[in-house]
Amino acid sequence: MELFTSKHLSFKLIVLLILVGAIKAAAQETSRYPLIPYPSKLITGTGSFIISTKTNIKTDSRFESEAEQLSELLGNGLGKKLSINKSEKNSRIKLVYDASITAAEGYKLSVTPQQVTISAKYPAGMFHAVETIRQLLPVSIEEGIAHKQLSLPAVTIADEPAYDWRGMHLDVSRHFFSVSYLKKFIDRLALYKMNKLHLHLTDDQGWRIEIKKYPLLTEQGAWRTFNNQDSACMKRAADNPDFTIDKEHIIQRDGKTLYGGFYTQEEMKGVVAYAAARHIDIIPEIDMPGHMMAAINSYPFLTCNGENKFGELFSKPICPCNETTFEFAENVFTEIMDIFPSKYIHIGGDEVDRSDWGKSDACKALMQREGIKDLPALQSYFINRMEKFFNSKGRKMIGWDEVIEGGVTKSAIVMYWRTWVPDAPVKAVKNGNTVIMAPGEPLYFDNQPDQYTIYKVYHFNPVPKALNNQEAKAIIGAQAEIWTEMIPSEKRADYMYMPRMTALAENLWTNKPDRYESYTKRLVTQFARMDAMKINYRLPDLPGLLNNYVFTDEGKLSIDKPLPSLNIRYTTDGSVPDVQSSELPSPLTIKTSQQIKVAPFTAAGTRGDIYTLNYKQQQMLGPIKIAPPQPGLMCSYYKAYFKETALMRNAKIDSTFISDKIAVPASVKVPSFGISYKGYIDVPADGIYSFYLNCDDGGVLSIGNDVTVNNDGNHSAQERSGQIALKMGAHPFMLDFIEGGGGFTLKLRYSVNGSEPKEVPAGWLKH
């Protein structure tokens, strides 16, 4: 009875009102303030501030260029820039200096129906505030559509980033990207408050920056005949035009077709200035001592023995044992420092085939003279000497995490990429180094994105678990990489990094993983902005699709649209769906075994990923008798490198063990291996079972005597899935898994008759 006293009722009412308020605030967060990254503090307001061409801006003299940027931004939406005043009169948008905002990139924004006040201590913070305002304005401003007036929702924001280093990398060597694309890229970084652009300017496949002292680096080194990566792209272009090599980088010279290009120093200085105006620092990387084939081609004196070819894994490096190499490197970096004012210069230092150094007389003599004990230490000799040179010019050196192998000074900054060496960043921090986290998983944005990618990027924790709070301060942020071996066009580049860069941006700025749901809703509004900006972003995944389906009588295919505005089209004749293809009915009934290709399309005709769905009619598979079943699967372990799982069949088994789960034992430490899990799967009921095999590298699952999921070959983590109709009882089960090197993933989940996927219960696995 107590429950119904008026005291409790009013308490319930208050709780209800708070709840309604919270729901309303959450809805506003995603609709009225669809900001990415979401500010660290935002208080919603009521009403709006109306901007017309008559609205004036007043600025503190420290923020004149940001005031100009704001005026231009608003001008895009009003057809005319706003005037900027020094006086108070009529100025209802004010850019003010606020010494109490201590964060270098922090700002405050107050919008009321009467007034907009933007405060910062430094121009970088003021610039981020302008980009916040941009995201609060209608997306049509991106297309320069003139409105009579613009409306800015009332709000109070106090904002600053969680991490100082919020970076993107772009490899312009493997495939080249024009100055105009770099500027577009910078605009997008700025929109999402990223502040570092790392340009990988040189590699085996091309030298992309003019160096006046060594003109052949670009005269010859910037051009190549098509290589195997170009051919692979051309092949893929048959199904996906985004793989077509951008024509503007193909030339004819001396009767030959050449691919390439480079930036003149003047052009690059223009890009640097463009980025600086957007408070983005460009960090140049001249990768050495490895990855130098393009330079060695023109300047063979750089090697120990004149050879310029690939070793077992990597190209032959330049020689750290000749003074002429240091002279070259210092001359190159002197010109680089002249172009790039960044405090940071990246020397690469990754993937060095040091074997020739060991055979060189010059190296033997140097090692003896300097007391250098081994080849990693010889690499450190090179890196540390170059660091001294950088430091003498007032710059800090960054190197990929291999630089710690032979010992590195505390002052070097370590960029961690090798996911399969998880203790590298921990060692670097304990050595006293500052670390930037850029691990391949999940931050190599050249890896094919899938339905899990954005979640993984959003939830990636830049701080390794093994570090305490004090040590964590050495992690200054994170960065994603775009290696472009298989990215030959601007459209493909857009697709690979958008929208996942927005997840990284919010991770590094806001760093509140529990905002994920809200982020996914805000992202939908951002898609509209990306459309207006003509970004070829990857459309959201079609949910719940498998690669291989089975049906006993008839199958039904219906797909929930991830965005209501998308059209899903399909073909059944093997052709790639296009805007002319039929729209998928809901559901499509399938009566015979066949292959269906589906793809989502935007109203503008942009196509998302193409899904190939194989439907097979199958009778329920009857169980087999096993006597008496033992728990767990029988596993064979192979300590060898395999390109495909089938190659395990002829290999020597190193050991065997029993396992009641599909997992790699913790005792496996070698980089390359294979495991075959064999036995029976004992299912508790008749049904259509779906299996999801996520692996890096390859895996093949067979149930009954057929392949149910084929995810074979050497590749980064990817999920493939398939179905089988099983009667209750035991069925032959075999899962072959191979890891080629570079870190593995192995996960098998199941669902039955459309249930949520989960791990296969231990009790089902027998031998």
Q: Does 400 bind ligand ACM (CB under 6 A)?
A: yes
Shortest gap between Cβ of 438 and ligand ACM (angstroms)?
8
Could you tell me the two tokens for 88? 């108070």
Q: Which of residues 31-50 bind ligand ACM (CB under 6 A)?
A: none
Nearer to ligand ACM, 443 or 542 (CB): 443
Residue number, 416 or 570, with CB nearest to ligand ACM: 416
Size of the site for ligand ACM (CB under 6 A): 4
Sheet with strand 91-97: strands edge to edge: 41-51, 150-159, 107-111, 116-120, 91-97, 56-59, 84-85
Instruction: Please list every residue from 343 through 362 that binds ligand ACM, using CB under 6 A.
Output: 350-351
Site string for ligand ACM, 306-345 (x = CB under 6 A): ----------------------------------------
Residue nearest ligand ACM (C-beta atom): 350
> Is residue 305 a contact partner of residue 360, using CB atoms and an 8 Å limit?
yes
CB of 367 to ligand ACM, least distance (A): 25
60 touches ligand ACM by CB under 6 A: no
Judged by beta carbon, residue 350 or residue 719, the one nearer ligand ACM is: 350
Residue 229 or 520 with smaller CB distance to ligand ACM: 229
> Toward ligand ACM, which CB reaches closer, 1 or 313?
313
Distance of closest approach, residue 539 Cβ to ligand ACM, in angstroms: 28
Q: What are phi and psi of 408, to 5 degrees?
A: -140, 150
Distance between CA atoms of residues 224 and 258, nearest Å: 5
Task: Tell me if 445 contacts ligand ACM by CB under 6 A.
Answer: no
DSSP codes of every residue in 352-415: ---HHHHH-HHHHHHHHHHT--SHHHHHHHHHHHHHHHHHHTT-EEEEEGGGGTT---TTSEEE
CA 156 from centroid of its chain's CA atoms: 32
The SS3 assignment for 148 reads: coil
- What track of x and - describes contact with ligand ACM for positions 543 through 582 (by CB under 6 A)? ----------------------------------------
The 3-class SS string of 69-99 reads: HHHHHHHHHHCCCCCEECCCCCEEEEEEECC
- Burial of 75: CB neighbours in 10 Å, binned 0-12, 13-18, 19+: middle
The amino acid occupying position 39 is P
Paired tokens of 62:
């420290």
Q: How far is the CB of 287 from ligand ACM (least distance, A)?
A: 8
Amino acid at 388: K
Residue 198 half-sphere exposure toward CB, CA atoms < 13 A:
27
The helix/strand count (H/E) of the chain reads as: 19, 38
Residue 403-422 contact track with ligand ACM, rule CB under 6 A, x = bound: --------------x-----
Query: Least distance in Å: CB of 215 to ligand ACM?
Result: 28
Q: How far apart, in whole angstroms, are the C-alpha atoms of residue 635 and residue 54?
A: 76
- Write down the least CB distance from residue 398 to ligand ACM, Å: 11
- In angstroms, give the least distance from the CB of 417 to ligand ACM: 4
- Cβ proximity to ligand ACM: between 441 and 644 the closer is 441
By 3-state DSSP, what share of the chain in percent is helix, strand and coil, each rounded to 5? 30, 30, 40
Which residues participate in catalysis according to the annotation?
203, 291, 351
**In the complex with ligand ACM, which residue's Cβ is closer, 425 or 555?**
425
- Contacts with ligand ACM, residue ranges (CB under 6 A): 350-351, 400, 417
